[in-house]
């Protein structure tokens, strides 16, 4: 099989929505200055590109460990995925996962972020990459203890 150069492969990424135990708050990280200037937003979820040879779940677990120092394999839930296509780019595939953790869980940020904060899902920051619509989709797709 002939491998396509990186710029010709479909681009895939994962994002992890981390909620508190009652799903009323979401953990967001504030990207460092360089990333804020590059991408044009301040806050976002944990996430990144899927590397060659790994599946979306493996990428999600790797990203959460790299970005905030958590190992959460057992509680990781697949939420949904979407495909996007832009005229000037190839297909983009995004996979979204969710997990709930205690708000007192120790978070260890790497150099990609300056801070983290728990936001009420009804009062999200303005400058974020994730849309309220996506956050609501994730909340709707996960099974909370109340509707299990």
Domains of the chain plus CATH, in order, are: 10-147 (3.90.79.10)
pLDDT at 85: 63
Gap between the Cα atoms of 60 and 138, Å rounded: 15
Asked whether residue 94 carries a pLDDT value surpassing 70, the answer given is yes
- Provide the whole-model pTM: 0.82
Closest by Cα among 107, 108, 101 to 77: 101
Gap between the Cα atoms of 125 and 42, Å rounded: 9
Q: What is the overall mean pLDDT for the chain?
A: 83
Gap between the Cα atoms of 126 and 148, Å rounded: 32
Residue 76 binned pLDDT confidence (cut-offs 50, 70, 90): confident
């Amino acid at each position: 099989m002939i491998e396509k150069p990186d710029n010709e492969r479909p681009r895939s990424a994962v994002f992890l929505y981390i909620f508190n135990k009652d799903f009323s708050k979401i953990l967001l990280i504030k990207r460092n200055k360089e990333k804020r200037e590059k991408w044009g937003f301040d806050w976002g979820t944990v996430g990144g590109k899927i590397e060659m040879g790994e599946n979306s779940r493996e990428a999600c677990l790797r990203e959460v460990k790299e970005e905030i120092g958590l190992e959460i394999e057992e509680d990781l839930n697949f939420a949904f995925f979407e495909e996007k296509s832009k005229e000037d780019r190839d297909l983009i595939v995004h996979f979204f996962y969710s997990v709930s953790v205690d708000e007192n869980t120790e978070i260890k940020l790497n150099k990609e972020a300056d801070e983290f904060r728990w936001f009420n899902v009804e009062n999200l920051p303005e400058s974020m990459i994730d849309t309220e619509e996506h956050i609501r989709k994730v909340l709707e797709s996960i099974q909370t203890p109340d509707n299990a």
